[in-house]
């Protein structure tokens, strides 16, 4: 037995050396009549053959609009049929899909579009309190005067084409129906010729992760990265073409689009979207009506489902497995999911966007204590090690250190940012996660903290620095420090310690109102503390550990 904290996942099965588009076509050929996609809220039900027709129409439409291999195209929408159509269509023409968080507001949208150099965006009209069309028109008022596909914008210089999912025509934008109608001008043969030029190591997806510098970083992922990860995650869950998976997690994140969409496609399984955004009863209803065999979610989603007043009214006998990820699973929650939801094989997964995302996972037959106290063992074709963050040496098993991952799953890099890429991926291609972890004698990984003070709120990674830099822009605020504090529902909540400028006064609500509609809702601090100073070390460094300790006591969160 290796006494050092290093583990390598072996497998009898090779990695898939194929593009996403080609894999999809192979699955279609194998299971043409198998139900591929069910979108409950749009009343859509496609077989794999029907889904391919829709995907190819979308791909041909994009080619007609001039979208080419390597072009970046934004996808800004909640869970709906158009999301997966764009995901698969871009994989067939080699355009790089840029996932845009549905919660983004103006400044975040502007940054993501410009940093990635999006030439096109597909956008919903609205979702919850987010008015996407209005925001696009505010950022690019030139849309009101231009023809579709001819945008020349001062704030969004690269963006030329906007495709709207609104039911009514919007000035300067193509409608979805118009995009699909453009398919008539590009032949199937022309699409096939483009698809044949693609390489599985090429970039196909950019996902923005919150940045410690205050700006998100665009993790750039290849066909090889995400197709293999989705395939392996679902293989470990024993997926076949007979499985039916409900995906209530957002598609813009790896959880939904990789572990969900691509995992199902690689096995010929059925993808089910119960609603645009997470609605507990919509999930419970879909489980019964669609005879789902698997369900994904972060712990807070499973809590909400179990606590729903109508929980007992639905039948869960078809369920067997699923993935719970995003934050650690409480023991009592796991017991309830196993028994009350009939999911004895539910598994825990851990990873990060930069590793496509999953690098460790529990098995359905792992001992119960391992499924609640650890994040499992390393995936096949992947290596993990735990190192001393200062020396870089691998620590002994049981010792705490930084978790690093290496293998096919490690991203190509951060889009157009060699400096941040070099800081995250070392010369030996190890991805440094920034997470503190331990590895036991059997290779199980336990995440024990974070080197940098990232907060995980309800499965969303939030970096305090980003919120701090935004709050610095308020004219009354002199200094601010953001921390995470414990929360029963979301795992962690955001708290801001604020020092005001001399002579200024401020109320909690004023801070929250300043944040509203400017940063994503999950980044808005729940707790505010006005202070004259911060706990510091003798060298002048902020002691966030002490801040958390004080806050937990003052807020009664022990």
Q: pTM for this one?
A: 0.86
Give CA angle at 415 (130, 380), nearest 5°.
95
- What percent of the chain clears pLDDT 90, i.e. is strictly above it? 84
Query: 65-74, 147-156, 299-308, 378-387: lowest mean pLDDT where?
Result: 299-308
User: What pLDDT does 1 receive?
Assistant: 58
pLDDT at 160: 98
> Is residue 474 within 8 Å of residue 454, measured between CB atoms?
no
**Helix (H) or strand (E) segment spanning residue 96:** strand 96-99
pLDDT of residue 300: 82
Q: Which helix (H) or strand (E) holds 203?
A: strand 203-209
Average pLDDT value for the chain: 94
**Would you say residue 241 has pLDDT above 60?**
yes
What does the chain come to in residues? 558
pLDDT at 537: 52
Instruction: Give the model confidence (pLDDT) of 290-321 as tens digits.
Output: 999 999 998 889 989 999 999 999 999 999 99
pLDDT at 541 over 60: no
Q: What is the pLDDT of residue 214?
A: 57
Which tops the pLDDT comparison, 372 or 284? 284
Is pLDDT larger for residue 246 or for residue 463? 246
How far apart are the C-alpha atoms of 291 and 393, rounded to whole Å?
49
Please give the average per-residue pLDDT across 195-209, as a whole number. 97
Ordered by where they begin, the domains of the chain are 50-199 (3.40.50.980), 455-555 (3.30.300.30)
Residue with tokens 């801001």: 496
pLDDT band with cut points at 50, 70 and 90 for residue 212: very low
117-126, 233-242, 450-459, range with the lowest pLDDT: 450-459
- Using one digit for the tens of pLDDT, what is the confidence trace for 383-428? 999 999 889 999 999 998 999 999 999 999 999 999 999 999 999 9
Under the banding of pLDDT at 50, 70 and 90, the label for residue 262 is very high
Reply yes or no on whether the pLDDT at 540 is more than 80. no
Question: Is residue 446 predicted with pLDDT exceeding 80?
Answer: yes
| pLDDT score of 159 | 98
At residue 209, the pLDDT reads 87
Strands (E), 303-439: 321-324, 347-351, 358-361, 377-378, 382-387, 401-407, 413-414, 431-439
Stretch among 74-88, 202-216, 366-380, 491-505 having the lowest mean pLDDT:
202-216
Higher local confidence (pLDDT), 407 or 480: 407
Instruction: List helix spans (H) across 395-543.
Output: 418-424, 464-471, 508-515
């Amino acid at each position: 037995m290796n006494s050092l904290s290093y583990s390598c996942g072996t497998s009898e099965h090779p990695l898939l050396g194929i593009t996403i588009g080609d894999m999809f076509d192979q699955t279609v050929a194998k299971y043409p009549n198998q139900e591929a996609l069910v979108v409950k809220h749009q009343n859509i039900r496609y077989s794999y053959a029907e889904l391919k027709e829709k995907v190819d129409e979308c791909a041909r439409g994009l080619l007609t609009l001039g979208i080419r291999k390597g072009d970046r195209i934004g996808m800004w929408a909640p869970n709906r049929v158009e999301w997966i159509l764009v995901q698969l269509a871009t994989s067939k023409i080699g355009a790089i899909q840029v996932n845009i968080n549905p919660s983004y507001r103006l400044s975040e949208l502007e940054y993501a579009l410009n940093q990635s150099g999006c030439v096109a965006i597909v956008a919903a009209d609205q979702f919850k309190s987010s008015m996407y069309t209005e925001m696009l028109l505010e950022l690019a008022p030139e849309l009101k005067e231009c023809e579709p596909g001819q945008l020349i914008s001062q704030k969004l210089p690269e963006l030329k084409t906007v495709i709207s999912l609104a039911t009514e025509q919007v000035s300067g934008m193509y409608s979805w129906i118009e995009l699909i109608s453009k398919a008539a001008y590009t032949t199937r043969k022309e699409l096939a010729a483009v698809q044949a030029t693609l390489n599985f190591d090429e970039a196909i997806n950019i996902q923005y992760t919150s940045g410690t510098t205050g700006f998100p970083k665009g993790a750039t992922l290849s066909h090889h990265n995400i197709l293999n990860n989705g395939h392996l995650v679902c293989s470990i869950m024993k997926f076949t073409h007979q499985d039916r998976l409900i995906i209530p997690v957002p598609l813009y994140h790896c959880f939904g689009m990789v572990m969900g969409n691509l995992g199902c496609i690689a096995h010929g399984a059925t993808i089910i979207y119960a609603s645009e955004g997470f609605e507990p009863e919509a999930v419970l209803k879909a489980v019964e009506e669609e005879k789902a065999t698997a369900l994904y979610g972060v712990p807070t989603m499973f809590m909400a489902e179990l606590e729903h007043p109508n929980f007992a009214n639905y039948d869960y006998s078809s369920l067997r497995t699923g993935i719970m990820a995003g934050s650690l699973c409480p023991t009592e929650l796991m017991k309830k999911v196993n028994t009350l939801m009939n999911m004895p094989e539910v598994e825990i997964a851990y990873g990060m966007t930069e590793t496509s995302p999953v690098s460790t996972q529990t098995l359905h037959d792992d001992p119960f204590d391992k499924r609640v106290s650890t994040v499992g063992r390393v995936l096949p074709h992947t290596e993990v090690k735990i190192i001393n963050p200062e020396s870089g040496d691998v620590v002994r098993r049981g010792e705490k250190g930084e978790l690093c991952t290496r293998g096919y799953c490690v991203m190509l890099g951060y889009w157009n940012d060699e400096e941040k890429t070099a800081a995250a991926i070392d010369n030996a291609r190890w991805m440094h996660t920034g997470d503190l972890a331990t590895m036991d004698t059997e290779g199980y990984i336990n995440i024990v903290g974070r080197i940098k003070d990232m907060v995980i709120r309800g499965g969303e990674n939030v970096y305090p620095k980003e919120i701090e830099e935004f709050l610095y822009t308020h004219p009354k605020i002199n200094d601010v420090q953001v921390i995470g504090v414990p929360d029963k529902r979301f795992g962690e909540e955001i708290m801001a310690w604020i020092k005001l400028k001399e002579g200024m006064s401020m109320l909690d609500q004023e801070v929250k109102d300043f944040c509203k509609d400017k940063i994503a809702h999950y980044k808005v601090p729940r707790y505010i503390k006005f202070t004259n100073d911060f706990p510091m070390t003798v060298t002048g460094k902020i002691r966030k550990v002490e801040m958390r300790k004080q806050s937990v006591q003052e807020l009664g969160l022990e």
